Structures are given as structure tokens and as C-alpha cells.
Structure 1
Amino acid sequence: MSPRDLLALLPSRTDYRAVPHTWRGDLLAGVTVGIVALPLALAFGVSSGAGAESGLVTAIIAGIVAAIFGGSNVQVSGPTGAMVVVLAPIMATQGPGALAMICLLSGIMVLLGGLLKLGRTISYIPWPVIEGFTLGIAIIIFLQQVPTGTGTEPGESTNAAVAAVQSLMTVTWPKLGWSLLLLGIVVAIMLIALKVAPKFPGSLVAIVVAGLLAAVFDMPVDVIGELPVGLPAPVLPALDLGVAAGLVGPALAVAALAAIESLLAARVAASISDTGAYDADRELVGQGLASIAAGFFGGMPATGAIARTAVSIRAGARTRLAAITHGLLLLAVVLVGAAVVSQIPLAALAGVLMVTSCRMVAPSTVRAVMGSTRSDAVVFVVTAIITVSVDLVYAVLIGVLAAGFFALRQLAKASGVHREELPGAAQPGDERIAVFRIEGALFFGAAERMMERVIALRDIEVVVLRMSQLQILDATGAQVITDMIVSLERRGITVLVKGIQPRHLKLAEHVGVLRSLRHQNHLFDELGTAVAHARSHIVRAAR
């Protein structure tokens, strides 16, 4: 990487060029999204197994670092539901002590992805895969709230659906009733707020109401518990090579998710705002640094948050000042309100996340995907099912592979080999000449079909292959053409090739298409010339 490329990945004064004109809107947006982020940060921290403090620390540290170093002008970063889905089973199997090392390793991986300019790979993930992935995450988030929403013990399984069922086996009364009451109140307040006043911070009001009710009526429900006043002191993770080696796999899964979700959020932010394009590679650098910094303070890996970013944009965010303000507001809450926050019931946080998960995928989006094409619907459903039942990263990989398979299949169907009539007036012997037009894409998915069609010819002495309308040719396609020419020539059928495009000529030469022709003059630029040559062969053969 050249010094100029490296400099482009670092913050600059141009990042804040518009602040003198937008600072009021940015500050208001930062306060608004900070209010929305507070209950989410607490809930995601608890749900991941890292604790409410870890969620808050991540929202503060990672939120500010990503805002400064990231590639989006309006991206809001912090703990997210998708990260919780990946992190929860890791925390359950590796223990809280592995959190700092996971942050460090995954952050370094994401950082390297930005330095290696891998950011644009997000453009290769199809829309049905993204939506199926999001739907699967939403289902998992909802299921993960069953223990805290019902006041039961968490299930032992790492699968969210199985763990939810296991947790319900530990139901106790009246704790279940009180937990469900608080959860229902939170859900009702949030849904009413969304319908009556969408910009109203319904989640925060719901949390306050639930906390007051739990305190006034001394409800026997679980609460967040004691939080430190202020940020913890930064601590360097213990560098044990043996432990680090065992965490490379989980860290890779976390890094892959952090990169994918952050780039998706940045892309969505750029599409719904007029704040300029985002730099995908710089975004990876910023998110990598954010996770590393959060790990030093006891936080969890961070990603860009689509929902919070959208809230910030709608509230008037135009520069990075908004996301920085959001982090500073949460820091103020930690410094002066830790005692109050510690008494928030966990069931109330579960209600916030259940509503959040239900809003992650709009019904209109599901209908649009399912009603598009059969292959897109299959990719959407398969990705969602694998996300819930197996693993998020595997879901994206399998979804992309499935989408690629269907795309190639469709491309192969759109490709064709068509026999054409000879141009001009019919002449004796024309019935022994076959002209084939090859169009579309001739690649490994369609080449064999073309070969079968041409090789099946009978009572033909000359074959003219028209390749001027061939748009895509790969090595397999070129090899099939070579084999086909050799096979026809071996049967005594002369093959003439017309119109190889200049961009395909080098491949045709390298694979052997041209060498397989009987004579170097059997390559033509014009169809009329090729047909005239074919007719001359018929005339000579008749003598």
C-alpha cells in the first residue's frame, strides 16, 4: 500500500468541513440517537453474556472511535443484535475472560481487511442473502430474550431456539407473571409510540415506566445490577499464544460479521442520506480500531448499527459530529446515572429487543423478495433458516453460493446455440452446410449443451460457427469449442469460425480454438465471406 493510499484511510479536516453549517442538526441528532441507543446498549450487553456495562462501554468507546476513523459520515456504531447472536455462544463456551482477546483478534482482522482493500467485496452479496440474513438475526434476537423476558434460567444449548425451550423448563411463579407484565408494558408503550409519534423515544420511556413500576411494587424480577461509576481503566489483554490460537476461529466469525454488517449499514446510510458516499476500506479500518479500543475497556466487538444510523439521519445528522455526540451523551449517563441504570429490570430490556427484532425486516420487504423470482425466494428462505439453525457466517457463504448457482443457471438458460438459414439465394449443396449462431454466455454451465447440439449433426460437410454475438467466454467454453472442432474435423466436417471478438481472441488462441481449425484461413470476419467459402468446399467435394 502506497503512502497516499494509507493517508486516504486516515481522518482529515475535510471530514468536518460542513460542521460550521450543520452543527445544530448534528448535536440534536446525536442526543436523539444517544437516547435510543441507551436501552439497546444495555440490552445487547446483557443478552450477549458480557454484561450491561460491556454494552455501554462498547457504545461509548467504539461509537466515538468508529465515528472518527470510519468511512461513513453518519454511521453510528456500537453493540448490535447480529453481534450478540455470534458472541453469545462464544461467551457461553469460552467464558467472559475471552472477551478482550476476541475483541483484539477480530478488530485486527477487520483492520487488515481495510488495509488490504477488501471493502468492496460487500457489493457481491445479493439482496435476498442480505434480507434472509437479517430475518434470521431478528428471529434469533427474539428467541434470545425468552429467558430474560420470562425470568427463567438461560438454556444450555448454543442454538437460540433450543435454549429458549430449555429456559422455559425452569419457570417459577410469581416471577414469571411479574416479568411478563413488565415485558408486556414495554412492548405496548413502544408499539403505541411507533404508531402515534414515530420520532418519540418510546423505548426509553418504556424502560423508565417499567423501572418505576418494579421499584414501587417491589416486584421480584431480575435487574441489571451494580454498574461502575465511570469508565473502567484500560487494560491490555493477556497475550497468551495458546489461548489466542484457540480463539482464532471464533474471532474470525466475529470479524466476518463485523465487516459485513458495518459495510451494509454504511451502504444503507449512503443511500438514504445526502451526506456523500462512504469509503468501504476506511470503514473497515475504523470498525477494526473501534473493536480493538473497546476490548481495552472491557467492551465487546462493535459494528455499524443500521437502525441507529437511520434514526440519526432522520434526526438531522450530516457529519461525524452526530455519532461522536451520541457517544459522549452515553458517557455522561455512565458518569452521573449508573446507580439508576443498575435498577432497570431485565424483562424490560427483553421487551425492547423483542420489538426491535420484529422491526428489523419489514413485511413489505419479505413480500417483495418472495414475490420476485423463485430462485431469489429460495435463497432468502435458505439463508434465514441456516442463520437460525447453524451459523451466521455460514449462512452468508451458503446464501451467496446458492445465489451464484441460480445466477449461473439463469445465465446458462439465456445462452443459446441457434441454427440459421444461409444468407442470399439458395444454391445446390446448401443442405450440407450448417450455420450456428452462438449467443449469450458460453461458460462451464452452458458449454456442454452447445457441444451436444452441434456434434449431433448428420449429413453435413461444413459447419460455420458465428461467435460475434457471444458475450461471455471462459476457459471451459473455449475448450469445449476446441474439442468440438477437433471432433467435427475428425469426422471429415470442415469447421469455419466467424467473428471472434477481440476480447476473446487471446483466450481462443491460448486454449487452442484457432489451432484446431484445418487451415488458418478458416477464421472470418464477415458471414458472407464465410458462407461463400463453405459453398466452395461443397463445390470442390462434388467434382
Structure 2
Amino acid sequence: MIRSARSGLRSLLPEADDYRALRSSWRADLIAGLTVGIVALPLALAFGVTSGAGAEAGIITAIVAGLVAAVFGGSNVQVSGPTGAMVVVLAPIIASHGVGAVALVSVLAGIIVLAAGVLRLGRAVSYIPWPVIEGFTAGIGVIIFLQQVPAAVGAQGGAHSSNAVAAAWEALAQAEWPQALLPLGAVAAVAAIMLLGRFAPALPASFIAIAAVAVISALCGLPLSTIGELPRTLPAPSLPALDAAVVTSLIGPAFAVAALAAIESLLSARVAATLADTGHVNADRELFGQGLASVAAGLFGGMPATGAIARTAVNVRSGARTRLAAAAHAIVLLLVVLVAADVVSVIPIAALSGVLMMTAARMVSPATALRVLRSGRSGATVFVVTLAVTVAFDLIVAVGIGLAAAAFFALRSLSRMSGAHRDPLPGDPQPGDERIALFHIEGSLFFGAADRLVDAISSAPDVEVVILRLSGLQLVDATGAHALAELVSALERRGATVLIKGVRPEHRALLERLGVIASLRHPNHLFAELDAALAHARAHVRRAAAGRID
């Protein structure tokens, strides 16, 4: 057991194979890291500002978490840092508990994600249906866009800042016109440059857009709110203030953050694996690495981190093949802090809002939404419900409700595929066959279908022998087995002899434990072949008829 535990822990730690391709790919990895660093800079700043934690928290998270996840994560090309989805979850936490809670939430959530990796829960994300994923992705995009409305019109969210819809509406109502046209113009300029950047995908359009707006704003002395002073070095690591009451109040939010970090990181790693042959993704190690990354970010005063799908995709498409690329991206951002903090501090917040609005717009893919809506009524309903709950309430609640809706439709479909049908007796008719009922049960005998299948059999006209064919039964759960035992007992009480044919080996233990076999009148009433069961039934009917004649 100890040896197994050591082996399991070793699989979560860095190994030499992580850098097997480094000798041939180091140039491409460094170029990819530089490219991703340029792309990540405006996003890290923007996500920090939008969450309410500040630009400093965003850049610290990108540096610290990006480096730790690059070394300890389960993907060779995953790029980690602050993300839009995390901003959506953090914003109401900061609104309720204050900025000081961010570092503590980051550490708590990181410990939870780390524990999930140690407990081998990495494959759990595969149980999330596609419509749920697309629904909360689109919902995140809508929320991020709405969160930028206050900065885009130079207003504040007000009392309803924990809800993006209410905050956007209140900001529009508070905006002072025509002064609000100036930040709106900055947003429009950023959006225009990023749209033009689609014709030159090799250029970092968001970086160019922010730089252009910042230069024009500085030269013209435009009265636009800016990021403000940034640290010129990383702060020293320290434990967040620990207070029992505060920790208790943040456990719930920490679990929500941890769930999001795990889901988004694993999805991002899975997407990266489809973009290029960059090696195996270890889902459990990915959770372990992302947990360490969030803990480290919290110790330096940063935010919880996740794998970033957009930055990871840029990394792969830029030629990254090993972890050096993601580590280099973090070092590029560190150099920005050490060398160019004064330059970054004059970036207008409206320019960052423009970048995030464009990022959010790209997250809501009309083509993908149309495919989901055309996939069927159940998939479309799950997608719409998840999207609506994400925007109106909470991301984690939305995932839970989406999973519940998907499970409901899946169980309903599975139930409809199940049935109990009365078959004609095979072979030439014989006297007394009308007193024998042959039923075959197919599909699944589970809690969603058990009552309906049992009713179909128990409502049959009175007969002397009932043969139940179970060889077509694919799935049996405890509820189904219990219902079957009660059915056999009820038929026996009515005077009908029950014969069971074709119990599959994988079902037999459950049927025995829940009394299905014991409820038969005689142990010999269990058959492997239909001919033998039918012969026994006919013999029983003949004996009963002879007894009536006597």
C-alpha cells in the first residue's frame, strides 16, 4: 500500500520526460512564450481590474501561477493565469467579502483543487455534457461583456455590482452624457483595431490596440481613467490573515472557485491536446499543478488561477512543444513588471474593457450555439437553461442545474428505450398455452423505468404461469431489482407461477441480494434456455388442468 501511494504521488510530480523534446524545440518554445506573454499582458491586467482585485493582482497571478502550473501541471503546453470565467465567480465574492478575501480564497481553493488531484478526480470533467459546457461558456461571455459596461461609459456599478445585468443597467443610467462618449470611443477604437487584426493573425492585435489607445490618450491629455501605479517587483510571499470566522464564511465560495478552476483547467488541457501532438495530458496532475498554482498566487497576493483556453491555443499555434513556453510567458510578464511598470500604469481602463468586450464576443459563437440548438430538444433546453442561469445567478449553480437537466433528459430517453412486451409462445400452439404469458424485458430496469415496466406486466390478464425473459436487459439498478422482486411476489400471491429465463451473469448477484431469486416459488424456476422454461410452464398447466378435472 505504501509503495502504491508513493507511485501515485510520483505520477503527480515533474519528471524528465516533461522536457524530452526541449533539445529540438527550445527556440520555438521561447518564441511561443514571448508571443503568449504579449497576448497575456492586457488580459491579465484587464481581468484583475474587472474582478475588483486590481491590475496588480492580475499580473501577479499571471506570473506566479503561470510559472508554477507550467512546471507542475499535467499538460506540456497549458498556459495558466487569471481568466474571464474566474472573474465572473470572484466579482460577487469581492463585492460581499472585500478585496482582502481574494488571497485567502485563492489559497483555500488551491488546496481543494490540489486535494482533488491527489484523490484522482481528474476524469470527472468528462461527465459534463457538451450542451452544459457550451451553455456556461456562452454565459460567461455575456457576463464578461456586461461587466465592462460601467468602465466603457465611465460609471460605477453601484449597489448591484454583484450582478452583471443589474450593474450594466445601473451604469448606463448613471452615465453622464456626452462625457461618456470619450471612454466609449476608446472601447470602439480598441474593437476596430482588433477586428482589423483578424486579417493579420500573426500580430498581437489586443496588445497593439491597447498601446495605440494609450499613446493617443497620453499625447492628447484625454481625461480617461488609467490603471494607476503598479509594483516594480513582486511582493514577498506571506500567508493571508487567518481568522476562523472569515475562513468559515469563505469555505463555500472557495469550493465554487475550486470547482470552476478544475473544470476550466481540464477543459483547456483537453482542447490543447486536440490542437497538436504535444504529449499526453495527465488530468490528475493537472489538478495538482493548478492547485499549487492558486496557492502560490494567493501567497503573493494574487487571484485563483486556471488554465486559459485562449492563451493555451495561442501557445500551441505559435509552435510550443514543451513547458518552457508557458514558463517563458511568465518570465516575459515578470520583465514587464521589473522594467515597464511606469508605461503600463498609464493604460486607460476603457482600453482594457474594449479588449475584454471583444474577448467576450468571441466566446459567444453563433455557429456553435446554432449547432447545439439543432442537436435536439433536450440538448437545446440544457444549453438555454445553463446559459440563462449563468447570466442571472451563478456559474457553479448553472453547471449544477445544467447537469441536472441533462441527467433528466438522459434518464427520460433511457426510460423510453426500455419496455416490457408480451410475446407469442414459440412453436406450435398446444392446449393450455392461453394460460401462459411470456414477457421479455429489454433496455434498462432502473429507478426511472421500474414502475412502468412492472405495471405493464402486472396488468396482464390472469394467467397460471408467467415467464420473464431477462436476457435483453442491459442495466439493472437497486430500484429495478427491488421492483422486480415485489412483482414476482405479487404474481405468486395471485396464484401465478413465475419462471425467470436468461439472467445475465453481471446482474445475478444484485438480483440475489435483493430477493428476486428468493421470491420464486422454487429454485428450479430459474432457467438458462427458453425451451426449457416453456416446457416446464406447459407441464405445470397440464398438471393444474388434471387437478381441476379430478
Instruction: Give the TM-score taking structure 2 as reference length.
Output: 0.97
The CA distance in 2 between the partners of 1:93 and 1:439, in whole Å, is 53
> 1:498 is aligned with what amino acid?
K
- Does residue 435 of structure 2 align to residue 438 of structure 1? no
Superposed CA offset, 1:432-454 (max 9, x none): 21111111111011111111111
The CA distance in 2 between the partners of 1:453 and 1:197, in whole Å, is 65
Q: Specify the alignment match of 1:283 in structure 2.
A: 286
The CA distance in 1 between the partners of 2:532 and 2:348, in whole Å, is 84
The CA distance in 2 between the partners of 1:266 and 1:108, in whole Å, is 20
The CA distance in 1 between the partners of 2:411 and 2:465, in whole Å, is 32
Q: Residue 51 of structure 2: which of 38, 48, 51 is its match?
A: 48
Equivalent position SS for 1:310? helix
> 2:325 is aligned with what amino acid?
A
The CA distance in 2 between the partners of 1:58 and 1:205, in whole Å, is 23
The CA distance in 2 between the partners of 1:269 and 1:361, in whole Å, is 19
Q: Specify the alignment match of 2:252 in structure 1.
A: 249
The CA distance in 2 between the partners of 1:481 and 1:15, in whole Å, is 54
- Does residue 312 of structure 2 align to residue 309 of structure 1? yes
Q: Could you tell me how far 1:295 is from its partner in structure 2? A: 1.2
> 2:45 is aligned with what amino acid?
L
Q: Residue 296 of structure 1: which of 278, 299, 302 is its match?
A: 299
Q: Residue 174 of structure 2: which of 170, 180, 201 is its match?
A: 170
Equivalent position SS for 1:175? coil
Tell me the percent identity.
61
The CA distance in 2 between the partners of 1:505 and 1:202, in whole Å, is 63
Q: CA RMSD in A?
A: 1.1
Q: Specify the alignment match of 2:191 in structure 1.
A: 187
> Deviation above 4 Å: which 4+ runs of structure 1?
none
Q: Residue 409 of structure 1: which of 391, 408, 412 is its match?
A: 412
- Does residue 163 of structure 2 align to residue 159 of structure 1? yes
> 1:344 is aligned with what amino acid?
I
Equivalent position SS for 1:472? strand
Equivalent position SS for 1:83? helix
Equivalent position SS for 1:328? helix
> 2:195 is aligned with what amino acid?
L
Equivalent position SS for 1:103? helix
Q: Specify the alignment match of 2:467 in structure 1.
A: 464
Equivalent position SS for 2:180? helix
Q: Could you tell me how far 1:169 is from its partner in structure 2? A: 2.3
The CA distance in 2 between the partners of 1:412 and 1:277, in whole Å, is 37
Matched-pair contact (CA < 8 Å) for 1:451–1:481: yes
Equivalent position SS for 1:169? helix
Matched-pair contact (CA < 8 Å) for 1:417–1:439: yes
- Does residue 41 of structure 2 align to residue 38 of structure 1? yes
Q: Specify the alignment match of 2:329 in structure 1.
A: 326
The CA distance in 1 between the partners of 2:152 and 2:433, in whole Å, is 81
Equivalent position SS for 2:245? helix
Residue 35 to residue 220, structure 1, CA distance change in 2 (3 Å)? same
Q: Could you tell me how far 1:239 is from its partner in structure 2? A: 2.1
Q: Specify the alignment match of 1:426 in structure 2.
A: 429
Unaligned runs of 5+ in 2: none
Equivalent position SS for 1:26? helix
> 2:191 is aligned with what amino acid?
V
- Does residue 277 of structure 2 align to residue 274 of structure 1? yes
The CA distance in 1 between the partners of 2:410 and 2:314, in whole Å, is 35
Superposed CA offset, 1:238-288 (max 9, x none): 222222222112111111111111111111111222112211111111111
Matched-pair contact (CA < 8 Å) for 2:158–2:170: yes
The CA distance in 2 between the partners of 1:94 and 1:28, in whole Å, is 41
Alignment of 1:441-456 (within 5 A): 441-456=444-459
- Does residue 482 of structure 2 align to residue 484 of structure 1? no
Alignment of 1:496-515 (within 5 A): 496-515=499-518
The CA distance in 1 between the partners of 2:426 and 2:402, in whole Å, is 47
Q: Residue 200 of structure 2: which of 197, 200, 203 is its match?
A: 197
The CA distance in 2 between the partners of 1:475 and 1:231, in whole Å, is 57
The CA distance in 1 between the partners of 2:253 and 2:543, in whole Å, is 73
- Does residue 102 of structure 2 align to residue 122 of structure 1? no
- Does residue 236 of structure 2 align to residue 233 of structure 1? yes
Equivalent position SS for 1:438? strand
Q: Could you tell me how far 1:98 is from its partner in structure 2? A: 1.4
The CA distance in 2 between the partners of 1:127 and 1:98, in whole Å, is 33
The CA distance in 2 between the partners of 1:361 and 1:434, in whole Å, is 56
The CA distance in 1 between the partners of 2:89 and 2:520, in whole Å, is 57
Q: Could you tell me how far 1:236 is from its partner in structure 2? A: 2.3
The CA distance in 1 between the partners of 2:375 and 2:280, in whole Å, is 28
Q: Residue 387 of structure 1: which of 390, 396, 415 is its match?
A: 390
Equivalent position SS for 1:2? helix
Q: Residue 353 of structure 2: which of 350, 354, 358 is its match?
A: 350
Q: Could you tell me how far 1:430 is from its partner in structure 2? A: 1.3
> 2:369 is aligned with what amino acid?
V
Q: Could you tell me how far 1:10 is from its partner in structure 2? A: 0.6
The CA distance in 1 between the partners of 2:57 and 2:179, in whole Å, is 26
- Does residue 19 of structure 2 align to residue 16 of structure 1? yes
Matched-pair contact (CA < 8 Å) for 2:138–2:365: no
Q: Residue 531 of structure 1: which of 529, 534, 544 is its match?
A: 534
Q: Could you tell me how far 1:336 is from its partner in structure 2? A: 0.9
The CA distance in 2 between the partners of 1:487 and 1:96, in whole Å, is 64
Alignment of 1:351-370 (within 5 A): 351-370=354-373
